[in-house]
Structure 1
Amino acid sequence: MKNFLSVIFLVLTSFSSVLAQKTTINKIVAIVGDNVILQSDIERDYANYILQGNAENQEIKCYLVQQMLTQKLLSQQAVIDSVTVTDDEVTNEADRRMRALIQRAGGQERLEQFLNRSVIQYKDQIRPDIREQLVARKMEGKITENVSVTPLEVKRFFESIPKDSLQYYNAEVEVGEIVMYPELTKKEKESFRDRAEALRLRIKGGEDFATLARLYSEDPGSAIEGGSLGFFDRQVMVKEFTAMAFKLKPGELSPVFETEHGFHILQVTERRGEQVSARHILIKTSPTPESLNRTKTSIDTLYQSVLNKRIPFSTAASLYSDNNETKYNGGMMLNAENVQVRTTYIPTDKLEPAVFLTIDTMKVGQFSKPELFTARDGKQGYRFLYLKSKTEPHRASLELDFPKLKEMAYEEKVGRTVSEWFEKRRSTTYIKIDPEYQSCSNMKLWVSK
């Protein structure tokens, strides 16, 4: 951890030096039409590249120059085509990036120390660059918005792939689930609320908040830090937590309140504009035997209705499942390894072990019996599974893999469309690149016009 923070310190210190001493290093790296790319722009993005956990590699600067050339061409066309982004879009993206930086640096105070400026000052500084990046992204979307592929184009794309280069796919399945978590009655929740209230009274009586958080809080991420959550804005926490945090004055202790995670005691330690620094103690609720029995009865009844075809599985999932990640997809699990394409086809080696063991002996179209399980976040509940389809290991084929091949054909066509657009723009735009970067292998197309 110490070495990692040292790297961050060196990177951000050098970045701050770049920003503070532009006059000493700011030569013009490239000219694109009416816009210039400065050496300090490259150093800034390279510092961010290192900060994201990448190893030092000076060759990356060649690709950063190429990215900026591309961005400038797109943003210039965006002005012509009246493509814009709103201030809110820029603010949201700036906030997202700052949350990531704060997390990697180990807190807002530490990041501000490294940057030698406040987070607010830094966000203001990067807003113009973020705006240009978002505009360029939107412009690229406009270039490709009418791209589509027909079944014939997918077939031609597939036939263009050499047979010995066809991708090999492991066995894949489509698996649905219906999940039910126990709901505690008000009386069943009392013992958990009482535990939180007892800790609140001890704090009001003079005991140290941080010590009690370390001893009793059931939030493992903050308990070790004395309950400290650092600075956060209104977008980070669940709504009940956010409402309480932004209502309290610094130093004020909240009453016990409930969120989906359990019962909390909250204290705001500092407020800066639209951010607060707070600490909390969490007492999680857990199912009682009675609540588990009620849930088992409910899911058994639903299972029989699905099994006897009184209600379609997808309808039952959307109406009754408690897993928000799957219920709005008709209960079907999505391939978490392929976030770019929302596909329900999941390689069997990527399934949760418990899911694989259950569906391994099932036939396509079957449902497993409801069973008690523990979710990734530790919540206990009941679920039953549906094996919708299964394919054996195989080379890519049109019959079995048309959705994947269609996506690949689409991506190839998008790439070709963008490349053709850039080729036309490069040929009609004044572009000059500093000799230091002309030797980069990826600059050939940019310097040969």
Structure 2
Amino acid sequence: MKRRKLNAINHLILLLICCLGFGSAANSQKVIDKIVAQIGDEIILLSDIQAQRLNLIQNGEEGDQQTDCGILEDFLFEKLLVNQAKIDSVDVPDEMVNQEMERRIQHIASQIGSIEQLEEFYGKPVAKIKAEFFEMIKKRMLAEKMQDVITENVNITPKEVEKFYNALPADSIPDINAKLKLAQIVFYPKLSDADKEASQSKLADIREEIVNNEISFSSAASIYSDDPGSRGDGGNLGWQTRGNMVPEFEAALFNLKEPNQISEVFETQYGFHIVQLIERKGDNYKSRHILITPKISRSAMTKASNAIDSLYRQIRLGNITFTEAARRFSDDENSKYNGGQIVNPYSGDYYWDINNINEIDPQMSQIAQTMQVGDISSPGLYINYMEQNKQGIRIVKLLSRTEPHVANLNTDRQLIEMAAMAKKKQRVIDKWIAQKINANFILIDQEYQDLCSFKYNWLKK
């Protein structure tokens, strides 16, 4: 396997929380699984620890007994949060879990190459991967939400930030990489009525063949569907709960009364669908679907390219500013109202670390490497990996670039404030853990009691 693919799979293991690649390893190493620890109804298995250790080893870290102890304590904290969330009725809607799952899958698919390559490596369609990891993702999000609830009233003053910074040893003040502030204008080609009618007509013909028993629904999905996540499994979407899918999909699905009944053609933001009901139990349902996505015609792409090229020339001539052009003409709803400035989803600000921008937007990384502050790139193809690999044309402006430096209060106050806040929140978390340990049923395997020196006294009575 190529190194790039291996790194992408390792990254997927991290993003999907546990052992995407562990299944293949487990086939060659017979492991007798057992419960290592339990908090309330939440259990931690030996395989959970082994999977996480394998992930660390694949990423170049050491894997020894103390590594296992650290992994176990991380799991204990997560399970304590999840168990308390159940007690306090803290919840994360399934729709949010599915959105997060989709975001992570799309991001990793862009890293490894495509959805098809991801499915090939894992040996399962994306729909099944999502089903397997749904509960794990949900519990991780539930733990994060519970942690937010615990620390929601924690605030920090400017004086506390300065005190925190001044108390840092000189050799522990971090070095800050160069950072970029960028803006973009995006034009997405517009689908014509003819483009949409062609897709709708194609799907209507497919539906007729299925209804006339000329082809099975699953075979038609495997041959014709544009949904890479379910196509390999005959369009099967597995079990879902009402609220997981877009409203148009569920409206069509819940209009079906009998198993194997097939909907009429309907439209969502992703294209045209037909759906077949397999089984329904209350608000839970199992279905398969076929998606036909309208194809952008070459003429539509050329039209978008010509339009942004004209706007690019007007900006270069000084007839309109980049900021005003973004606000008036850009199709990117996430940046146009900021004058095209792109928010870093991880930091929440407008600055992008030059060393990790490639993980979020590989094309942007390549563009920015050759630009000076104030430069505007010529129009180029843009693939929006966060929106179903949506294709468009964009221009990019480099607004500013910081130099590498040691963190200081003048230029990096937000970063330092975040660190100071994190330390203050950790003190609140430490106090909360100590209180909840006494209030919860906790069991840890004797082997790990003897082996590990934990930060928290998990078995305190």
Work out whether the TM-score is over 0.5.
yes
1:52 to 1:218, Cα distance in 2 relative to 1, 3 A: farther
Give distance in 2, aligned partners of 1:435 and 1:415.
27
Deviation of 1:46 (Å): 0.2
Distance of 2:249 and 2:444 partners within structure 1: 52
The change in CA–CA distance for 1:371 and 1:412 in structure 2 (over 3 A counts) is same
- Give the 3-state SS of the residue equivalent to 2:287 in structure 1: strand
Matching residue of 1:4:
23
- Change over 3 Å in CA distance of 1:304–1:63 after alignment to 2: closer
Q: What percent of counterpart residues are identical?
A: 27
Question: How many angstroms does 1:203 deviate by?
Answer: 0.9
3-state secondary structure, aligned to 2:410: helix
- Deviation string 1:289-313 (CA, Å, 9 cap, x unpaired) is 3322432354356556766475672
Q: Which amino acid aligns with 1:162?
A: P
Equivalent-residue separation in structure 2 for 1:362 and 1:394 (angstroms): 21
Structure 1 279/222 Cα, relative in aligned 2: closer, same or farther at 3 Å? Answer: same
Match for residue 242 of structure 1 among 247, 250, 257: 250
Q: 1:286, CA displacement in angstroms?
A: 1.9
The alpha-carbon distance between structure 1 residues 189 and 149, as it changes in their structure 2 partners (threshold 3 A), is same
Task: Within 5 Å, give how 1:43-82 maps onto structure 2.
Answer: 44-47=42-45, 50=48, 53-55=51-53, 59=69, 60-61=71-72
Distance 1:268 1:42, change over 3 A: same
Distance 1:433 1:356 in 2: 48
Q: Determine helix, strand or coil for the equivalent of 1:383.
A: strand
Determine the C-alpha separation between the residues in 1 that align with 2:207 and 2:249: 16
Matches within 5 A, 1:29-428: 41=39, 44-47=42-45, 50=48, 53-55=51-53, 59=69, 60-61=71-72, 85=89, 90=91, 92=93, 96=97, 137=147, 140-142=150-152, 145-150=153-158, 152-206=159-213, 207-249=215-257, 250-300=259-309, 303=312, 308=318, 310=320, 313=323, 317=326, 320-327=329-336, 331-335=340-344, 339=346, 341-349=347-355, 350-351=357-358, 352-376=361-385, 377-419=388-430
Secondary structure of 1:412 counterpart? helix
Identify the range of structure 1 (213-222 vs 367-376) with the bigger mean alpha-carbon deviation.
367-376
Tell me: CA distance 1:370–1:440, structure 2 relative to 1, closer, same or farther (3 Å).
same
TM-aligned CA deviation for residue 245 of structure 1: 2.0
Structure-1 residue corresponding to 2:13? none
Equivalent residues in 2 for 1:17-32 (5 A)?
A: none
Which deviates the most, 381-390 or 287-296?
287-296
Paired residues of 1:5 and 1:105 also in contact (CA < 8 A):
no
SS of residue in 2 equivalent to 1:374: strand
The residue matched to 2:191 in structure 1 has which SS? coil
Alignment-mate amino acid for residue 204 of structure 2: E
Residue 210 of structure 1: CA displacement? 1.5
Deviation at 1:392, TM superposition (A): 2.4
CA-CA distance at 1:70 after TM superposition: 8.0
- Cα distance in 2 for residues equivalent to 1:312 and 1:388: 11
Superposition deviation, residue 438 in structure 1: 8.8
TM superposition shift of 1:168: 2.4
1:442 equivalent to 2:454? Answer: yes
Asked if the contact 1:177–1:331 (Cα under 8 Å) also holds between the matched residues in 2, the reply is yes
| 1:146/1:227 CA distance change after superposition, 3 Å | closer
- Tell me how far 1:148 sits from its aligned partner: 1.8
Alpha-carbon contact 2:81-2:147 (below 8 Å) kept: no
CA separation in 2, counterparts of 1:391 and 1:158? 21
The answer to whether the Cα contact below 8 Å between 1:196 and 1:263 also exists between their aligned partners in 2 is: yes
Amino acid at match of 1:140: I
Residue type of the alignment partner of 2:39: D
How much has 1:382 moved relative to structure 2? 1.4
Rounded Cα–Cα distance in structure 1 between residues aligned with 2:460 and 2:286: 54
Gap regions ≥5 residues in structure 1: 19-24, 26-38
5+ residue gaps in structure 2?
1-19, 55-64, 106-121
Letter in 2 for 1:173: L
The higher radius of gyration belongs to 1
Q: How many residues align?
A: 393
- State the one-letter code of the partner of 1:141: T
**Post-superposition CA distance 1:6-42 (Å, at most 9, x none):** 969x99x978xx8xxxxxx9xxxxxxxxxxxxx7537
CA RMSD across the alignment:
5.0
How far is the alpha carbon of 1:428 from its aligned partner? 11
1:30 aligns with none
Number of the residue aligned with 1:21: none
Secondary structure, aligned partner of 1:400: coil
Q: Secondary structure at the match of 1:441?
A: coil
1:22 counterpart residue number: none
Cα distance in 1 for residues equivalent to 2:128 and 2:433: 42
2: CA distance, partners of 1:310 / 1:260: 33
- The alpha carbon displacement at 1:429 in A equals 9.1
Indicate conservation of the 8 Å contact 1:149/1:410, yes or no: no
The 2-side partners of 1:390 and 1:2 are apart by 38
Deviation at 1:413, TM superposition (A): 2.3
Rounded to whole Å, the distance in 2 between the matches of 1:292 and 1:174 is 28
SS at match of 1:342: coil
3-state DSSP of counterpart to 1:54: helix
The offset of 1:390, in angstroms, is 0.5
